[in-house]
Structure 1
Amino acid sequence: MTVTTRGILLKEIPRFETLSKRDFYENYVKAQKPVVLTKLTEDWPAYKKWRLNYINSVAGSKTVPLYDDRPVSHEEGFNEAHTTMLMSEYIQLLESKPTNYRIFLYNLMREVPVLQNDFKWPNIGLRLVKQLPMLFFGGAGAKVFMHFDIDYANILHFHFHGKKKCIIFPPSESKYLYKVPHALISREDIDFDNPDFEKFPALRHAEGYICELNHGEMLYMPEGYWHYMKYETAGFSMSLRAFPRGINHLAKALYNVTIMRFYDTLMRKVQGQKWIDYKNLRALTDTHRKLIREGKTI
């Protein structure tokens, strides 16, 4: 089903209880299309155990890095945390009130090995990277700005304890998403829940997908997909990843890791806020220039 959310054309992501390995690989991995599986985790210990109180019981003493929704600053490093807190204090905050603080791309599995016993590696046609199960936490209303992952991975994204809204776009829609040059993000002042089409008219031409994840459900995001996440309630997620299959995406991932990230860090140090402002302006002008070339209205 196709829906229009605040003026952006989004399709509901197909949902199945389970899929065979062949169906999943042929119809979604090879086709590079997203899908939600609702019962893949029902035989995992995590399905019954993974609630915030359980995480508190096994990891409450761990100091965790926290991020909020402040814009990228030249004073901060690549993916550098904004503050830290004991996990027990953070969970108490999550359970008491809405908060923008999130745990992002944190290898809690390595820090708390007992969690590795709670899930199974799905045998659904992807060669998953066993060293990189990552956990993500957020409070009610917390948002993860629109971005794509540096390694162009195929991602299995599992959600626990609550509800999470996901808006995603294939790489083909990058030209409409105000991608910031030398970065993995769109303009951070775009509110994908309520976009300003006067300032960002290209968004009207983007075609993406939307879903809501509930406890234990999994979203498959193909390689290079843009994603925006909003925690409708406090909760947490786990991502398992597989390297990109295509040579083109492997090359882009290698460039991002070896050249782009370090060049951007260097330019922040050299030019400071001027570099950030320049990139945000380029995101606007480059996107509108492409619209004009395509004969689309601004």
Structure 2
Amino acid sequence: MVLRTGPMPSAQPSLNADLAREVAARLIAGHSEQLISFQLSGYGAPDYIQKHIQLARQNPFFQGASAISDMVQRQNWILETERASQRLHPESRTIPRHERLSPETFLKEHYSVHRPVILTGLVDDWPALSKWSPDYMEDKVGRDTPIELQKGRESTKSFEIDKLKLKTQIPFGEMADFLRSGKPSNDMYVTANNGAANRQALAPLWEDFSDIPGYTQSTSENDGFLWIGPQGTLTPFHHDLTHNLLIQVAGRKKVHIVPSYEEARMRPIRKYFSQWSLDDMLAAPAERRPQLLECEIGPGDALYIPVGWWHHVIGLEQSYSVLFTNFLWPNTYTNAYMGG
């Protein structure tokens, strides 16, 4: 038998997991130890809370998380300086319109500096502008041709996050009938997310539009995405991993846009979605809400949305749109974390 000599080890206080999480979160947020003890006094005496603070600071996992938090806070600081500087620009609170803007000017004043713009006069020769309607599309595509779309969007509040679960195949004629009814709805919508499945089925419609010389270039994998929906479609706040050129063919859409440097105020979830609804954002105190830009686009308008900029889109009328991401300039920004 081996006898232990010397003083007995001091008893360690029991760890309260809920308190530990609260302490860690407040330390990461930069709260003082005195404030944390006051905020969490409901968990026990100051000494008990102080012991949890000490354990947190000694924990290597917390130390790693703290280092990442410092890095994120520095990045947020850089974004705040960018925000302050950008708001000095005379166009920082509006989305300008430019008629037949040259590709060189677009690259210099918008694409390379991430500044949205509505371009007009670029697609005036597209047959789609005068032809696209439920009847015309049904005749071109075929009433019985199966297409993929999101169906049942009104059955869940998280329809955008759950869009993969809502993918459904129906005959194009069913969609045409739905559009002809004129009923406002967010329940059925053909979006860019359905592009890969629909490229062959909707191929005849590609005869009615084309690339924009000096702006885009066609490739076998990337020559446009179609959006087809009734009045009342809604795409909540999110950002994409590419620069986008949203070209309105028929109908009108209202678009709200938030700059990428407002990241800290956008309450992001699932990487590129936001917890904000438009109504909540408009009702929030000015100091809490991000800067919000608003525009309306109609037939022939091409809205440039820079990569990383948040946007919210409402279909004011039955609407047909073409989305291009195949710019002549670099447009690949996915990485191991921000996977597309």
TM-score w.r.t. the length of structure 2 is 0.62
Give the structure 2 partner of residue 146 of structure 1: 237
Matching residue of 2:175: 90
Name the CA shift for 1:130/1:35 in 2 (closer, same or farther; >3 Å).
farther
SS state at 1:219 partner: strand
Structure 2 segments unaligned to the other structure (5+ residues): 1-91
**Residues 20 and 146 of structure 1, relative CA distance in 2, 3 Å threshold:** same
Asked if the contact 2:129–2:250 (Cα under 8 Å) also holds between the matched residues in 1, the reply is: no
* C-alpha displacement of 1:242: 3.6
The percentage of counterpart residues that share the same residue type is 24
**1:158 corresponding residue in structure 2:** 247
SS at match of 1:123: coil
CA 77–31 in structure 1, closer or farther in 2 if over 3 Å, else same: closer
Match of 1:234 among 308, 318, 324: 318
- For 2:209 and 2:307, locate their aligned partners in 1 and report how far apart those are by CA, in whole Å: 23
Aligned pairs (5 A) from 1:175-190: 175-180=264-269, 182-187=270-275, 190=276
Q: Distance in 2 between matches of 1:177 and 1:236?
A: 28
The structure with the largest alpha-carbon Rg is 2
After alignment, is 165-174 or 57-66 more displaced? Answer: 57-66
Are 1:72 and 2:72 matched, yes or no? Answer: no
Q: Which protein has the bigger strand share?
A: 1
* Structure 1 letter corresponding to 2:297: L
The amino acid of 2:244's aligned partner reads I
41, 51, 71: which one pairs with 2:133?
51
Report 1 or 2 for greater relative contact order, CA contacts < 8 Å, sequence distance ≥ 6: 1
Distance 2:261 2:219 in 1: 26
Partner Cα separation in structure 2 for residue 79 and residue 46 of structure 1: 28
- The DSSP-based 3-state class of the residue aligned with 1:55 is helix
Q: Deviations over 1:13-55 (max 9, x none)?
A: 1112211111111111112111111221111222222233222
Please state how far the C-alpha of 1:172 moved relative to its aligned partner.
1.0
Distance between the aligned counterparts of 1:186 and 1:141, measured in 2?
20
Post-superposition offset of 1:254: 4.4
Residue 208 (structure 1) aligned with residue 292 (structure 2): yes
TM-score by length of 1: 0.70
Q: How many residues align?
A: 237
Q: Where in structure 2 are the equivalents of 1:187-198 lying within 5 Å?
A: 187=275, 190-192=276-278, 194-195=279-280
For 1:167-178, list aligned pairs within 5 A.
167-178=256-267
Q: Determine if the alignment matches structure 1 residue 123 to structure 2 residue 208.
A: no
* Gap change, CA 1:203 and 1:85, over 3 Å in 2: farther
Amino acid at match of 2:107: Y
**Paired amino acid for 1:98:** P
The aligned amino acid for 1:160 is V
CA RMSD of aligned residues (A): 2.8
Cα distance in 2 for partners of 1:11, 1:161 equals 27
CA offsets per residue over residues 198-254 of structure 1, 9 Å max, x none? 7x65884311322111112111111122111100011121111047848xx72x444
Distance 1:139 1:204 in 2: 33
Task: Measure the CA separation in 2 of the matches of 1:127 and 1:81.
Answer: 31
Task: Return closer, same or farther for 1:102/1:203 CA change in 2, 3 Å cut-off.
Answer: farther
